Structure 1
């Protein structure tokens, strides 16, 4: 039994599931309050009342914590970027489309639709999501390809991929919504590749 004079216990809590749940709750609050870039592992841990090492212990990175706490993404963003950059640079556009559709099609597009609803209903979430996708996903891809105008290219890629998700999973334009993955890869991949490494000058 603890008393009011005893110091607050830090570090790992009695149950792993309890610690993870507390971290997720704290992360949602901090990310929404401060945005993705403004939130730090230390501030999230302080909000949860645990040591900062617990964030990395349970989630591995700030990116993965944000993906699970706020966006509820069914993938690890750090591993995804590594996977997308692993292969011929000239086929990166195809890999992005194939991976994106592979993840969301497997869930019937439901998580993507839920993500869109959360973004449109809360400006704080929208801001954090924008910073996350641009800086932790698409910007890392364009920088990994050593492309010029990395920030603009990242924005163009985001517009293509998010637009593709809206069309396929939210408004469900046919026949695009039910077209097989490889057909979409062949149609959209080259355009995405131009955003990544092609000439985008006027």
Structure 2
């Protein structure tokens, strides 16, 4: 930062918002979601931290905006907290696919396509490991030390399902009803979550 730079309100609403988004993307890519603070993002954007909250609310909402997601991922993930761990697989497939097929599905899939083709996997990796899987990993950590592996294995199944249904549009997956997909694919996720796998802690 030059000696003449200072925190405060930048001229023009869109310029301030864009500066915050640019700083957020850079910071999230550099250190990940957990280690990127609102204050550090505000400093990089040369604005007061209050402006970050004013434009974007929470850090999760800022992350969603930085990734151009049409919905705050916490809105989706919160509903899994009450699901018994032995039913997580089917519940996750049903909820995630329902969102893909909803009106917000098209921009959501476009955002993931953009992340995957960006050439820089850091934002996508941070989103997957530090947001999507963060609350699931401790719930499936049995035996202790295997939670990370179980959650990532399940994520590979969901990513394959997304690519097959929405990007490649492979039949019959592309047109299979959500409930049928949940019943068919859910047990595979559940095996990764709670099944007897040859995992080492």
Instruction: Sort the TM-score into its range (normalised by shorter chain).
Output: 0.7 to 0.9
User: What whole-Å deviation, never above 9, does each CA across 1:101-142 have from its counterpart, x for those lacking one?
Assistant: 11111145453144224322322xx12211221222113212
Structure 1 unaligned blocks of 5 or more: none
> Aligned match of 1:49 in 20, 26, 46?
46
Deviation of residue 188 (structure 1)? 0.7
1:178 paired with 2:179, answer no
In structure 1, the residue matched to 2:83 is 87
Distance 1:177 1:112 in 2: 14
1:99 paired with 2:95, answer yes
Distance 2:93 2:16 in 1: 35
Structure 1's 38 and 7: CA in aligned 2 closer, same or farther, altered over 3 A? closer
SS in 1 for 2:27: helix
> Aligned match of 2:72 in 71, 76, 83?
76
Distance 2:139 2:14 in 1: 35
In structure 2, the residue matched to 1:191 is 188
Structure 1's 153 and 177: CA in aligned 2 closer, same or farther, altered over 3 A? same
In structure 2, the residue matched to 1:136 is 131
In structure 2, the residue matched to 1:112 is 109
Distance 1:143 1:120 in 2: 30
| Contact 2:140/2:147, CA 8 A, preserved across alignment | no
Structure 1's 55 and 153: CA in aligned 2 closer, same or farther, altered over 3 A? farther
Query: Which structure has more helix as a fraction of its residues?
Result: 1
| Contact 1:97/1:188, CA 8 A, preserved across alignment | yes
> Aligned match of 1:63 in 52, 60, 63?
60
Paired residues in the alignment total 194
In structure 2, the residue matched to 1:201 is 198
Structure 2 unaligned blocks of 5 or more: none
RMSD between aligned residues: 2.8
User: What whole-Å deviation, never above 9, does each CA across 1:140-177 have from its counterpart, x for those lacking one?
Assistant: 21214554411101211110111110011111111101
| Contact 1:84/1:95, CA 8 A, preserved across alignment | yes
